[in-house]
Amino acid sequence: MKKTRFRVVFGFVVGLLVLASCLGVAHSQTAPATAPAAAAPAPPTGSADAELKDATGKAPTMMQLQSGDPGGTITGTINDVPAADTKAGVTLPDVANQVGQNKIAVNFTWTLITGFLVMFMQAGFAMVESGLFRVKNANHTYMMNFFVYTCGLFAYWIIGFAIQMGGAAGNSNLGGLQSLSSEHTVSIFGKMWGLWGQSGMFLAGHTYDVGVMVIFLFEMVFMDTALTIVTGACAERWKFLAFAVSSVIMGAITYPLFGNWAWGGGWLAQLGTNVGLGKGYCDFAGSGVVHAVGGVTALAVSMIVGPRIGKYNRDGSSNPIIGHDISAVLIGCFILAFGWFGFNPGSTLGASANGSLRIGTIAVDTMLAGCTGTIGAILYMWALKGKPDASMSGNGILAGLVAITAPSGFVSPTGACIIGLIAGVLVCVSCSFVENVLKVDDPVGAISVHGTNGLWGVLSVGLLADGTSNYGGSWNGVTGSVTGLFYGDASQLVAQLVGISTLIGVIFTLSLVINLVIEFFIGQRVSIESELAGLDMPEMGQLGYPEFVFRPEPAVLMGQA
């Protein structure tokens, strides 16, 4: 039997080789005689174009290229510059146009690929969340994380993007984005303040544009990150329909509104130009816009949804509820750390021009803050409990990454280490505070990881921005580099505090009201029976791991204590 198999495989490979040889012979017989490249025309003298014509003549011919270029020495020359008029050959305007094309191309490449990495973070969030939950809710948790991508994208395509970025024209990295031309503004004290954007619905009409598509993709995946944060805090008891409606509204309205104020040319970004507060509210990649908005919304919704059965005892003390899969938690963290290299460095929206070469610093800052965040959380828990704790290690890296998100474009590696270390300790303290003081049940620590540390990240810009960044010489329309209190600009800190207050006040209130309305019309929480049985069967009709055998849950978590 074994021999037969080998004979089959062997005869097979021989057959393929013979076939290959035959084709090779056929090739040498039938290969068309390709015309030699035309001799280079005699170059005229004296002008730029003459010099270029001369260079074209010296460049490798098509016949040379046909012989193959293993070393990469004859590929990629003046012959690869497209000529507007092929008879005239490559002219100086052709060269200059291709330079502009190359700049936009590398910026598109950078922004899209980093955007793809951010999209992949959805897998990481799904794994971290599910791993920290009980196995009886696995399918429900995965489906929330899966469907939120769809919900959010659809809402954002219809209206959210228009609200956020509809007035964002002028980004030279991506070719101008001129068709995002309309921001709704109000005049206060003689200054115009942006409130929301008004172009880009359905990506139709003027905004069916290659540059707009790139910014849409990048902004969309950020929005989806914010949405997915809420699912972590409310899982194991959130009704699927309520979740879906809540997420659509957040993607359509709540998130884009604050996004406009901070990134779309809205009033927070104008605090610098309008009233001289630093460079306006500065949030490089969204510690505030994405993470704190997600975390504050998570707080509001989880307050409405209430704690899981068995989480709190009658005396107010809490019981630990242990997740079912540490491997998913830590692999999820790796995926998130990987995706964060898209999140932060991608937020330059390009690699070429406007100081975008700082992408390397941003990536290293991101990496270092995640590192010191882990160290902070591990050492804190090690000191507290005598052992490093896997779940809090994961939360430590995420806390560091969340905190560095806003300042990543403005601080030094040392600054990043400090920000991350504080975040790593802060997340442990905050988790304990939310659980034991606020008495809010947040199974994954989303409020602490994204909310608390998101706000710390925004604040840290006002403290540690070192004034060395240079994105074309200005930020939010104010000349100069973003500079925090410790480097001399106290007004930047004020701008950050205005942003923080606005975020907490507006987002918490809006989220609370919207989700109370949902509570009234749909109901946010599953029935007690469903919760005890696990949400997989009643809500999804299918278990997460139907063939595996599980241990019974502790009685205290079944409401029997």
Nearer to a copy of itself, 312 or 382 (CB): 382
Q: 495 near 280, Cβ under 8 Å?
A: yes
Question: CB-hemisphere CA count at 13 Å for 477?
Answer: 21
Alpha carbon distance 551, 134 (integer Å): 11
**What type of residue sits at position 123?**
A
Residue 457 · residue 285 · CB < 8 Å: no
257: number of Cβ within 10 Å: 22
**Of 112, 95, 107, 94, which is closest to residue 175 (Cα–Cα)?**
107
Dist. CA 233–CA 301, nearest whole Å: 8
Shortest Å distance, C-beta 178 to a copy of itself: 4
CB of 440 to a copy of itself, least distance (A): 23
Return the amino acid letter for 299. Answer: L
Query: Which amino acid appears at position 539 of this protein?
Result: E
Element (H, E) at 246: helix 240-249
Q: Give 207 or 302: the residue with its C-beta nearer to a copy of itself.
A: 207
Minimum CB distance to a copy of itself, residue 242 (Å)? 10
* CB distance 417 to 302 below 8 Å: no
* Minimum separation from the CB atom of position 193 to a copy of itself (A): 15
Q: Which amino acid is at 337?
A: A
Q: How far is the CB of 532 from a copy of itself (least distance, A)?
A: 15
Residue number with CB closer to a copy of itself (338 or 497): 338
Nearer residue to a copy of itself within complex by CB, 70 or 190: 70
10's enclosing H/E stretch is: helix 2-30
Buried b (16+ CB within 10 A) or exposed e, 467-479: eebebeebbbebe
Please tell me the distance from the alpha carbon of residue 397 to that of residue 338, in angstroms, as a whole number: 12
Report, in Å, the least distance between residue 535 CB and a copy of itself.
Answer: 11
User: What tokens were used for 531?
Assistant: 């919760």
Max intra-chain CA distance, the chain = 96
When the beta carbons of 14 and 505 are compared against a copy of itself, the nearer one is 14
With the CA atoms of 241, 245, 246 and 249 taken in that order, what torsion angle do they form, in degrees rounded to the nearest 10?
Answer: 170
SS3 197: strand
Residue 31 per-residue DSSP state: -
Closer by beta carbon to a copy of itself, 292 or else 531: 531
Nearest distance from C-beta of residue 180 to a copy of itself, angstroms: 9
Output the smallest distance, CB 102 to a copy of itself, in A.
5
CB 369 within 8 A of CB 400: yes
Q: Which of 218, 440 has the CB closer to a copy of itself? A: 218
Least CB distance to a copy of itself at residue 315 (A):
25
C-beta of 181 vs 504, nearer to a copy of itself: 181
Nearer CB in complex with a copy of itself: 12/505: 12
> CB of 323: closest distance to a copy of itself in angstroms?
8
Which two tokens mark 407? 């300042």
Whichever of 23 and 505 has its CB closer to a copy of itself, that residue is 23
